[in-house]
Amino acid sequence: MIKGIFVINNHGKPRLIKDFQRMTQPEQQQTVREIFGLLSKRSDNVCNFLEGGSVTTFSKDTKLIYRHFATLYFVVAADGNESDLGLLDLVQVFVETLDKKFENVCELDLIFRSDMVHHILDEVVMGGMVLETSGKEIMDAVTAMERLELETRSAAIKA
Amino acid sequence: ATMAGSHLTREFFELIKTIGESKSKQEEDRIITDEVTRLREKTKSSKMDKRTTKEFLVRLIYAEMLGHDASFGYVKALEMVAAGNLVEKRVGYLCASLCFAPDQPLRMMLVSRLQKDMQSANILEICFALTAACKLITKDMIGAVLGDADKLLTHEKEIVRKKTVMLLHRFLQLDPASVADYDEKFRRALCDRNPAVMAASLHVYDELVRANPAANKDLVPSFVSILKQVSEGRLPRDFSYHRMPAPWIQMKLLRLLATLGHADQKASEQMYEVLLSCMTRADSGLNVGFAVLYETVRTITCIYPNTTLLDEAAACISRFISSDNHNLRYLGITSLAAIVKDHPQYATKHQMAVMRCLEDPDDTLKRKTLDLLFRMTNPANVEVIVDRLVANLRDAVDVFLRQDLVDRISEVAERFAPSTTWYVQVMTQVFELGGDLVKSSTASSVMRLIAEGGDDEDEEADNEMRTDVVETYLELIDRPGLPDMLLQTLFWVLGEYGYLAESMELPAMCDKICSLAGRAGLNKVTRGYAISAAAKLTAQVGAVVPSAQQLMDSFGASKDVDLAQRCAEFRVLASRLDMMRAVMPVDASCEDVEMEGDEGLAFLDSYVEEALAAGAQAYEKPADMAAAEAEAAAAAASHALRFSAYATPDAGTHMPEAGPSSGAGETAGPGGLQAPAGGGLSAAAGPWGQKGQWGRKPAPAPAPAAAAPAAGFPGTLPGQPGSA
Which of A89-93, A112-116, B352-356 bottoms out in mean pLDDT, i.e. has the lowest?
Answer: B352-356
Which of B142-156, B247-261, B543-557 bottoms out in mean pLDDT, i.e. has the lowest?
Answer: B543-557
A135 CB-contact burial (10 Å; exposed 0-12 / middle 13-18 / buried 19+):
middle
- Say how far apart CA B122 and CA A151 lie, in whole Å: 15
Q: List, for residues B660-691, the tens digit of each pLDDT value.
A: 444 443 444 343 334 444 333 333 343 333 44
Locate the chain A residue with the closest alpha carbon to B298.
Answer: A83
Fill in the amino acid letter for B112: S
Q: Which residues of A touch B90 (CB under 8 A)?
A: 115, 119, 145
Contact at CB, B363 and A42, closer than 8 angstroms: yes
Locate the chain A residue with the closest alpha carbon to B11.
Answer: A112
Top-confidence residue, B577 or B235:
B235
C-beta of residue B266 within 8 angstroms of C-beta of residue B276: no
pLDDT of residue B378: 84
Query: Positive or negative CA dihedral for B97, B100, B102, B106?
Result: negative
Task: Answer yes or no: is pLDDT of A159 > 70.
Answer: no
pLDDT of residue B477: 84
Local structure of B12: helix, strand or coil: helix
Q: List, for residues B599-619, the tens digit of each pLDDT value.
A: 777 878 888 888 888 888 888
Contact at CB, A115 and B91, closer than 8 angstroms: yes
Which of B3-7, B97-101, B138-142, B487-491 bottoms out in mean pLDDT, i.e. has the lowest?
Answer: B3-7
Q: List, for residues B381-391, the tens digit of each pLDDT value.
A: 899 889 988 98
pLDDT of residue A64: 96
Local structure of A66: helix, strand or coil: strand
Task: Answer yes or no: is pLDDT of B446 > 50.
Answer: yes
Locate the chain B residue with the closest alpha carbon to A41.
Answer: B363
Contact residues for A15 (Cβ-Cβ < 8 A; gap 6+): A7, A8, A9, A72, A107, A110, A111, A114
The CA angle B133-B135-B141, to the nearest 5 degrees, is 55
The predicted model gives B529-557 an average pLDDT of 85
CB-nearest to B62 from A86, A90, A111 is A111
Closest C-alpha to B345, from B334, B357, B354, B336:
B336
- What does the mean pLDDT of chain B come to? 82
Which of B10-14, B528-532, B717-721 bottoms out in mean pLDDT, i.e. has the lowest?
Answer: B717-721
Between β-strands A14-19 and A2-9, what pairing exists: parallel, antiparallel or unpaired?
antiparallel
pLDDT band of residue B171 (cuts 50, 70, 90) is very high
DSSP A49: E
The whole-angstrom distance between A122's CA and the closest CA on chain B is 7
pLDDT of residue B645: 65
- Say how far apart CA B521 and CA B366 lie, in whole Å: 37
- Say how far apart CA B29 and CA B22 lie, in whole Å: 10
Q: List, for residues A8-23, the tens digit of each pLDDT value.
A: 999 899 999 999 998 8
The whole-angstrom distance between B13's CA and the closest CA on chain A is 8
Query: Positive or negative CA dihedral for B522, B526, B530, B535?
Result: positive
Local structure of B660: helix, strand or coil: coil
- What does the mean pLDDT of chain A come to? 90
- Say how far apart CA B612 and CA B616 lie, in whole Å: 5
Residues B484, B488, B490, B493, Cα dihedral to 10°: -170
Closest C-alpha to B131, from B97, B103, B181, B101:
B97
Local structure of B248: helix, strand or coil: helix
Beta bridge partners of A17: A6
Contact residues for B8 (Cβ-Cβ < 8 A; gap 6+): A112, B55, B58
C-beta of residue B451 within 8 angstroms of C-beta of residue B496: yes
pLDDT of residue B514: 87
Top-confidence residue, A121 or B542:
A121
Task: Answer yes or no: is pLDDT of B651 > 60.
Answer: no
pLDDT band of residue B650 (cuts 50, 70, 90) is low
Cα–Cα distances (Å) from B128 to A94, A146, B124, in that order, read: 19, 14, 6
Task: Answer yes or no: is pLDDT of B215 > 60.
Answer: yes
Top-confidence residue, B93 or B287:
B93
Contact at CB, A153 and B98, closer than 8 angstroms: no
- Say how far apart CA B448 and CA B463 lie, in whole Å: 14
C-beta of residue B351 within 8 angstroms of C-beta of residue A34: no
Q: Does B223 touch chain A (CB under 8 A)?
A: no
Contact at CB, B330 and A25, closer than 8 angstroms: no
pLDDT band of residue B380 (cuts 50, 70, 90) is confident
pLDDT band of residue B723 (cuts 50, 70, 90) is very low
pLDDT of residue B351: 77
The whole-angstrom distance between B202's CA and the closest CA on chain A is 10
pLDDT of residue B641: 60
Contact at CB, B2 and A81, closer than 8 angstroms: no
Q: Which residues of B touch A133 (CB under 8 A)?
A: 241, 247-248
Cα–Cα distances (Å) from A118 to A111, A135, B57, B93, in that order, read: 11, 16, 13, 11
Interface of A with B in 63-92 (CB under 8 A): 81, 83-86, 88-90
Q: Beta-carbon neighbour count of residue A138 at 10 Å?
A: 22
- Say how far apart CA A99 and CA A86 lie, in whole Å: 20
pLDDT band of residue A144 (cuts 50, 70, 90) is confident
pLDDT of residue B558: 84
B702 CB-contact burial (10 Å; exposed 0-12 / middle 13-18 / buried 19+):
middle
Name the E strands within A12-136: 14-19, 49-51, 63-69, 72-78, 125-126, 129-130
Exposure string (b/e) for B2-22, b if CB count within 10 Å is 16 or more? eeeeeebeeebeebbebbeee
Closest C-alpha to B658, from B671, B650, B677:
B671
Interface of B with A in 272-291 (CB under 8 A): 287-288, 290-291
DSSP B60: H
pLDDT of residue B293: 95
pLDDT of residue B414: 87
Task: Answer yes or no: is pLDDT of B145 > 90.
Answer: yes
Q: Which residues of A touch B159 (CB under 8 A)?
A: 141
Write phi, then psi, for A107 (nearest 5 degrees). -60, -40
Please provide the DSSP assignment of B121-173 as one string: S-HHHHHHHHHHHHHH--GGGHHHHHHHHHHHTT-SSHHHHHHHHHHHHHHHH
Cα–Cα distances (Å) from B718 to B204, B645, B722, in that order, read: 50, 12, 10
Local structure of B2: helix, strand or coil: coil
Contact at CB, B248 and A86, closer than 8 angstroms: yes
* Highest mean pLDDT pick, B59-63, B396-400, B464-468: B59-63
CB-nearest to A88 from B57, B102, B287 is B287
The whole-angstrom distance between B30's CA and the closest CA on chain A is 15
B600 CB-contact burial (10 Å; exposed 0-12 / middle 13-18 / buried 19+):
exposed
pLDDT of residue B702: 43
* Highest mean pLDDT pick, B54-68, B186-200, B378-392, B537-551: B186-200
Task: Answer yes or no: is pLDDT of B231 > 60.
Answer: yes
- Say how far apart CA B646 and CA A36 lie, in whole Å: 64
The predicted model gives B273-277 an average pLDDT of 95
Domains of chain A: 2-158 (3.30.450.60)
Task: Answer yes or no: is pLDDT of A58 > 60.
Answer: yes
The predicted model gives B525-553 an average pLDDT of 86
Local structure of B578: helix, strand or coil: helix
Local structure of B494: helix, strand or coil: helix
Region for B353 from its dihedrals, namely left if φ exceeds 0, alpha if ψ lies in -120 to 50, beta otherwise: alpha
pLDDT of residue B705: 41
Interface A:B, Cβ pairs < 8 A: 163
Q: Does B8 touch chain A (CB under 8 A)?
A: yes
Contact residues for B139 (Cβ-Cβ < 8 A; gap 6+): B174, B175, B178
pLDDT of residue B177: 94
The whole-angstrom distance between A10's CA and the closest CA on chain B is 13
Q: Does B166 touch chain A (CB under 8 A)?
A: yes
Contact at CB, B6 and A122, closer than 8 angstroms: no
CB-nearest to A24 from B91, B101, B173 is B101
pLDDT of residue B448: 85
pLDDT of residue B683: 38
Task: Answer yes or no: is pLDDT of B120 > 80.
Answer: yes
Contact at CB, A148 and B86, closer than 8 angstroms: yes
Which of B300-314, B358-372, B696-710 bottoms out in mean pLDDT, i.e. has the lowest?
Answer: B696-710
- Say how far apart CA A114 and CA A99 lie, in whole Å: 14
Task: Answer yes or no: is pLDDT of A1 > 90.
Answer: yes
Q: Does A56 touch chain B (CB under 8 A)?
A: no
The whole-angstrom distance between A69's CA and the closest CA on chain B is 17
pLDDT band of residue B548 (cuts 50, 70, 90) is confident
Task: Answer yes or no: is pLDDT of B404 > 70.
Answer: yes
pLDDT of residue B590: 73
Q: Beta-carbon neighbour count of residue B475 at 10 Å?
A: 10
C-beta of residue B562 within 8 angstroms of C-beta of residue B568: no
Quick one: what percent of chain B has pLDDT higher than 70? Answer: 86
C-beta of residue B516 within 8 angstroms of C-beta of residue B478: no
- Say how far apart CA A140 and CA A145 lie, in whole Å: 9
**Which ipTM value was assigned to this complex?**
0.92
Helix axes B307-321, B351-358, angle to 10 degrees: 40
Helix axes B10-21, B50-65, angle to 10 degrees: 10
C-beta of residue A6 within 8 angstroms of C-beta of residue A117: no
Write phi, then psi, for A22 (nearest 5 degrees). 60, 45
Locate the chain A residue with the closest alpha carbon to B129.
Answer: A122
Q: List, for residues A130-141, the tens digit of each pLDDT value.
A: 999 888 889 998
Task: Answer yes or no: is pLDDT of B648 > 80.
Answer: no
- Say how far apart CA B489 and CA B476 lie, in whole Å: 12
Contact at CB, A54 and B400, closer than 8 angstroms: yes
- Say how far apart CA A42 and CA A21 lie, in whole Å: 26
Task: Answer yes or no: is pLDDT of B717 > 60.
Answer: no
pLDDT of residue B255: 96
Q: Beta-carbon neighbour count of residue B179 at 10 Å?
A: 22
What H or E segment, with its residue span, contains residue B511?
Answer: helix B506-517
C-beta of residue A16 within 8 angstroms of C-beta of residue B331: no
Write phi, then psi, for B13 (nearest 5 degrees). -60, -45
The predicted model gives B245-266 an average pLDDT of 95
Interface of B with A in 337-356 (CB under 8 A): none
Contact at CB, A84 and B331, closer than 8 angstroms: yes
pLDDT of residue B643: 58
- Say how far apart CA A87 and CA A64 lie, in whole Å: 10
B contact test, residue of A32, A89, A109, A119 with most B CBs within 10 A: A89
Contact at CB, A152 and B94, closer than 8 angstroms: no
pLDDT of residue B449: 83
Quick one: what percent of chain A has pLDDT higher than 70? Answer: 97
Fill in the amino acid letter for B162: K
Q: Beta-carbon neighbour count of residue B635 at 10 Å?
A: 15
- Say how far apart CA B160 and CA B148 lie, in whole Å: 12
